Structure 1
Amino acid sequence: MTKWFLWMGLTMLTGSPLLSLGLLAVLLFAADRFTLQVLPSPMRAFKRWQRAGELAGTILTNTHDRRARAELADIRLGQKRYQEAVDLLRPNLDAGDDDVDTLYLLGVAYLGAGDAPRGELLLTEAERLDADFRQGAIDLERGRFRLQRGDFPGAREALGRFLQVRQGSVEGRVLLARALDKQGLDVEAQDARDAAWREYAVAPRFQKRRDRWWAYRARPSRPLAYAAVALVLMGVGAYLTRYLPTHDTYGRYGAYEDEPYAADDMGGEDAE
């Protein structure tokens, strides 16, 4: 809704809806880069896309390159292309790659692809090899996908274990708040959201950039307030542009026609 009003304001300024749409996209992206930095970096996305193309070419040349398969599968997981990640990693597992990284990635891929039993089994096996893998990443993924498929008690259990390991995780607390909301525990859910915002407020700057998206999910009123300020500024700009009087330095072409004496001067003495 806010973006709609911004677009309307730009349309009033430019007179072109299509141009306003393009300007809105540029303005929102520029504002995000210099302030919130919530939107993904296009340069980083481009580099990952480029690297994915290189890895795909390597696999076409050598289908048994398990390292390339694992790296490309990791990229596909970040793109939420879970079935492709399964297809990439399954040959690695069949070839004997049963290390914790492979089991973890394939477990997440199966969970994302909708095969929860296999995904949970592989994550359990990865946990058996390294219970503290990536500081609780296994329980974080368990909680995330259990929440998606409606297993709210299971999500709450997994996220609770994750937060015991990584107490400063804003993402973990926001996901836990969602699980508590779904179970009707409104007070506990609000406490979890408040705790998420407190962790974000005291985090170092580099961590804030990483957690900002989750922090504003904990308190969505903050970005709405920023958007409201931007809307007010746009409205003031539109008013100043359209309604304040302007003074021309030079007269308009043909302005003499508006003068009351213009008709009398046209003939002059020769008119008689």
Structure 2
Amino acid sequence: MQHIERAGVHSGDSMAVYPAQSLTDAEVEKIIDYTRRVGLALGIVGLMNIQFIVAGGGTYRGFNGDHHRDDFGDAEVYIIEVNPRSSRTIPFISKVTRIPMVRIATEVMQGRTIKEQGYTPGLAKEQNLIAVKAPVFSMSKLAGVDTFPGPEMKSTGEVMGIDQTFDGAITKALLGSGLNVPEGGPVLLSIADPDKSDSTGLIRLLDEGGHKIYATSGTAKMIRLMGVDVVEVEKRLQGGKGRTVVDIIEDGTVRAVVNTVTGDRSTFRMVFIFAEQRSCNVFHVSPR
């Protein structure tokens, strides 16, 4: 499974896709090799969960076919952690691959090998389907909670979307999680400087989809340079002369908010807690 969020977000709060969509063959081989070596060295019999980081290579890796899998350059594979146990992803993987992971692992622990159960070692053969796991949050019921994703898990459930395309699978997963993305509705963007170059594709899609775009000053400047119409709003909660992000959320002007953050976010955090209380769809991206 490949996490869609960058490393640093708890695996339970990250969206994930199976099979991995933007790993090169060399990276997959490294992951298989490291997994086999770690499992043998630790003497684990049964299920094992490993989280990896792939660092380097391309600065952006598309999940929907907009980059060739071998165009990313050299990258290193690192292990974050190894857990000699099952994980919450086992039901997800079992359903997608149609392999009863728990039953097989239980039999192995009792001395019956994988081959004796009719399976062969190695990476499972990919199905002609793509599956996306999406977290479900209940932030509106927890006033004052920091809603930004990070190393501490905050989701209260998970849903699954399956389709023959990545776009179809992720759309089903988002809808299943309770996120109703409006068609053509106004959207507020506030993109941190390190993420601006990666956000141009999203901005083009919003513009082509007929969404009116509102943005804070730095983001609005970038959008204008792209030749896209944008309405600038102030980030400041007090002392500003124009309309602020709170104003356009409170009066229902915008129906969705996209925000990436770096460093101190205490002021903007309250803005987005306010947005969620107004049932406004909020998309967060954690710091790099």
Same fold (TM over 0.5): no
Q: Over alpha carbons, which structure has the higher Rg?
A: 1
Q: Which has the higher contact order (CA 8 A, sep 6+)?
A: 2
* Larger strand share, 1 or 2: 2
* Larger helix share, 1 or 2: 1
Task: Give the structure-1-normalised TM-score.
Answer: 0.27
